[in-house]
Amino acid sequence: MIKIALLGFGTVGKGTYEILNKNRENIKKIVSDDVVVTKILKRNLNFETDLDKKLFTDNFEDIINDEEILLIVEMTGDLENSYMYIKRAIENKKNVVTANKAVVSEYFEEFTELAKKNNVAFLYESSVAASLPIITPLKSQSVINDIYRVRGILNGTSNFLLSNMELENKDYSDVLKQAQDLGYAEAEPFDDVEGIDALRKLRILSTIAFKSPIKNENILHYGIGSISKVDIEYFKNNNLRVKLVAESKLDDKGYTSIVEPVILSRDDSLFNINDTNNIVEIFGDNYDSLSVAGQGAGSFQTGNAVVIDIIDALCKNYIDLEFNRDLKNMSENMEGIYYLRISNKFSIDDSLIDNLNNMGENIVIKTKKIKRNILFEQLKNIPEKEYFVGRYEIN
């Protein structure tokens, strides 16, 4: 019997536990032994459950000091404690699987090197795009390809908001309330709508793809918190659609990495990714592009990726990463043609404008090809709620 422990028993923890039990015999055939959850860490033990209460503990020491537990699945969502849990587990020669994108993105290189040193697995497929199998294939692709671009829609909440503003012709605030009622958005949705969640995922993907540490602080971000019906209607009337896109590119000068609203035409592969769905595209020298799309969140969707990682860890079916490149961050030099909707109380330098449309209390501007930082320098003294910016990427 192979004993494992779960840290956290929320939505993902419950999904993981159910998938493990439902597929117990199939998993046994693959790993050549019975995989059994023998401990579950839970902060509050005063709760109702059909499971044996002896499974649960509120003391991490009960798990870390159990030498028979070979693998720990971290699903707490707590950055400070999860760092300690993962570090101590690896140092105690226990394999680690985590769904916690925040802790992976913050301590990616440290955990990777520590796991290698202790000859255990550190796997995190579910930390990016939930059920989408992208981390493991990306590792394999990076071995035989020079991957030069990673692009995708990595946050289901923001994609739901943008999709339903268009579909239902609603204001941002109304669709946000709908998403919160459905459980798609947190009470405080800042990380989702301002691109922080997608940034963390892009950091992980880019580091693997480019074989170089691309840190959170190296990635630019601008979100969708100031978008309005005016913007959505303008895009719709022009057969365009806006998505919160995460993208990293690599060339001989260095890399750029950003999360921002991007305006797409109908022939773009991201155009029809709607609702809470995610997509990831990778571009390498052996092919034009590879992509994987599907549901980016959910109990069983995320739990599915967690269980695959558990199997891979126990079978030692994983690739050790090497971060052997020193790349220059060129993100501040990014250029593009930008959409700007701004209150008619304000203006920007005429030399940046390609064309302009008056729309009631707002002005819609299409810029010339300009440096992104020049545009945002023009906007720095204007309240963020008074404007919305998106980059045109029209094929």
- Residue carrying the six token digits 């892009």: 202
Distance from C-alpha of 87 to C-alpha of 99, rounded to nearest angstrom: 15
Considering the candidates 39, 94, 101, 201, report the single residue annotated as catalytic: 201
Q: How far is CA 284 from CA 94, 207, 334, in A?
A: 34, 15, 21
Annotation marks residue 28 as catalytic = no
Strand spans (E) along 297-361: 335-343, 353-359
Report yes or no: 74 and 56 within 8 Å, Cβ to Cβ: no
- Nearest Cα neighbor of 106 from 7, 188, 201, 192 is 201
Say which residues have a Cβ less than 8 Å from residue 326's Cβ, sequence separation at least 6. 212
d(CA 376, CA 386): 13
Which tokens is 54 given? 């002896």
**Two tokens, residue 204:** 């992980």
Token pair 């779960």 is found at: 6
- Whether residue 299 contacts residue 352, with contact meaning beta carbons closer than 8 Å, is answered with no
Tell me the C-alpha distance between 202 and 212, whole Å.
13
d(C-alpha 237, C-alpha 240), whole Å = 7
Catalytic residues: 201
